[in-house]
Amino acid sequence: MAEKVLMKGNEALAEAAITAGCRHYFGYPITPQTEVAAYMAKRMPKIGGTFLQAESEVAAINMVLGAAAAGVRSMTSSSSPGISLKSEGISYMAGCDVPAVIVNVERGGPGLGGIQPSQSDYFQATKGGGHGDYHLIVLAPASVQEMYSLTIKGFEIADNYRIPTMILTDGTIGQMMEPVSLDAVEVKQFDKPWSACGQRGRDHRNIINSLSLKPEELEQWNFDRYKRYEIVKEKEVMYEEFMMDDAEVCIVAFGIAARVSKNAIVEARKQGIKVGMIRPITLWPFPEKALKAAAEKCKAFVSVELSMGQMIDDVKLAIECKKPVLLCNRTGGMIMSPDEVVAKIVEASKM
């Protein structure tokens, strides 16, 4: 059996980035993601990598853009208010087709909000966040082990499609400790003939740019990017089904809310309620087909999330509003108890 080590989620994520070949990390302090930067500050100098604490989140994301444009695997991490600041740079990266990994260890908002866990940046993460027509690929770990595995996956998927990828997690997953297997994994690497790293005999110049003053051209760039998004939607959707075989009530939850929901499902089943869960692992692309199929056999859905209700919109869209969707939510840094979820499951089972 593989040896496991006890790690914080944020540390597992940082180690995963190093395993994936990331040697350029740029960050700025903010709670509750600080362990990522601290881990990188210790490790990077020892493996010939770069850890740089930037003067702001704005500068950090643009350093990531520069390093990624030059063809290396690069990462930044932050928490909600910091991600708002990075959104300008993220939009530029999307517009330039520069791949990198951006980590959001969410905390309560809006504004300065609080430092306790939240999932209220769902809209920002999945609908774009910055200006213009674009998406990020958004991965949502629900365990420390997934902080490790999905971060590696994030680098691969970003490079493969030249789409910046976000790890959307929260203060709980980031801070909690669990045993993690850091087994040697084969990490896919990709050639980057497009990168701006000096011509060195190449017969053409590489230009990394998101500007076009010709609307026909800019429209075509967006069309081309959305064609790639369609391929991502076709090939990269990830989700977990939990006790769905006979489920009449379907919970939809991700990250820490899914962990709470699993306990609630086990409890509700003891009361004889047939309930299961679809846990989106990719929030974008969203597991629309799986939910649509579930709508054929389930009579009600419950969206369990740490926000005022954001993912619930995507649930309703995916099932085309064919079944009722209840919301079980806490916000501002509060987490629902399994009992609160059970109460919603009972309510849904009576619909």
Partner 1 sequence: MDFKKTKGLTDAPLHYCPGCTHGIIHRLVAESLEELGVLDRTVGVASVGCSVFTYNYFNCDMVQAAHGRAPAVATGIKRARPDDIVFTYQGDGDLAAIGTAETVHSAARNENITIIFVNNAIYGMTGGQMAPTTLPNQITQTSPYGRDVTVVGYPVKVCEMLSQVDGASYVERVAVNNVKNIMKAKKAIKKAFQNQIEGKGFSLIEVLSTCPTNWGKSPADAIKWLDDNMATYYPLGVYKDKEATKND
Interaction site with partner 1 (CB under 8 A): 24, 26, 50, 52, 54-56, 58-60, 62-72, 74, 88-89, 92, 96, 196-201, 205-211
Cβ proximity to partner 1: between 40 and 67 the closer is 67
Nearest-angstrom CA–CA distance, 237 and 284: 8
Q: Is the peptide bond before 285 cis (omega within 30 degrees of 0)?
A: yes
Nearer to partner 1, 99 or 109 (CB): 99
Can you say how many angstroms the Cα of residue 311 is from the centroid of all Cα atoms in its chain? 13
CB 200 → partner 1: shortest distance, Å? 6
Which residue, 97 or 305, has its beta carbon nearer to partner 1? 97
Strand pairing partners for 105?
Answer: 169
Closest approach of Cβ 30 to partner 1, in Å? 17
Could you tell me the smallest distance in angstroms from the CB atom of residue 25 to partner 1? 10
Pick between residue 86 and residue 107 the one whose CB is nearest to partner 1: 86
Q: DSSP E strands: which ranges in 14-97?
A: 24-27, 50-53, 74-78
Residue 45, number of CB atoms within 10 A of its CB? 11
The distance of closest approach from Cβ of residue 96 to partner 1 in the complex, given in angstroms and rounded to an integer, is 7
List CB contacts of 157: < 8 A, sequence separation 6 or more. 137, 139, 163, 165, 232, 236
Nearer to partner 1, 212 or 220 (CB): 212
Q: How far apart are CA 305 and CA 92, in angstroms?
A: 30
Q: What is the C-alpha to C-alpha distance for residues 153 and 19, in angstroms, rounded to an integer?
A: 11
Shortest distance, position 41 Cβ to partner 1, whole Å: 15
- Residue 66 vs 114, nearer CB to partner 1: 66
- Of 137, 177, 134, 172, the closest CA to residue 153 belongs to 137
CB atoms under 10 Å from CB of 33, counted, come to 31
Least spacing, CB of residue 32 vs partner 1, in Å = 25
User: C-beta of 195: minimal distance to partner 1 in Å?
Assistant: 8
Nearer to partner 1 among residue 132 and residue 179 (C-beta) = 132
Q: Which residues contact 117 (CB under 8 A, 6 or more apart)?
A: 32, 106, 107, 108, 170, 171, 172, 173, 174, 256, 306, 333, 335
- Min CB(31)–partner 1 separation in Å: 22
C-alpha to C-alpha distances, 55 to 130, 333, 335, nearest whole angstrom: 21, 27, 33
Smallest distance from partner 1 to CB 17, Å = 15
Using the minimum distance from each CB to partner 1, give the nearer residue, 38 or 54: 54
Query: Going by C-beta distance under 8 Å and a sequence separation of 6 or more, which residues neighbour residue 337?
Result: 260
Please name the residues in contact with 285: beta carbons below 8 A apart, sequence gap of 6 or more.
Answer: 137, 229, 232, 233, 236, 237
- Buried b / exposed e over 277-312, threshold 16 CB at 10 Å, is bbbbbbbbbbbbebbeebbeebbbbbbbbbbebbbb
Nearer to partner 1, 200 or 270 (CB): 200
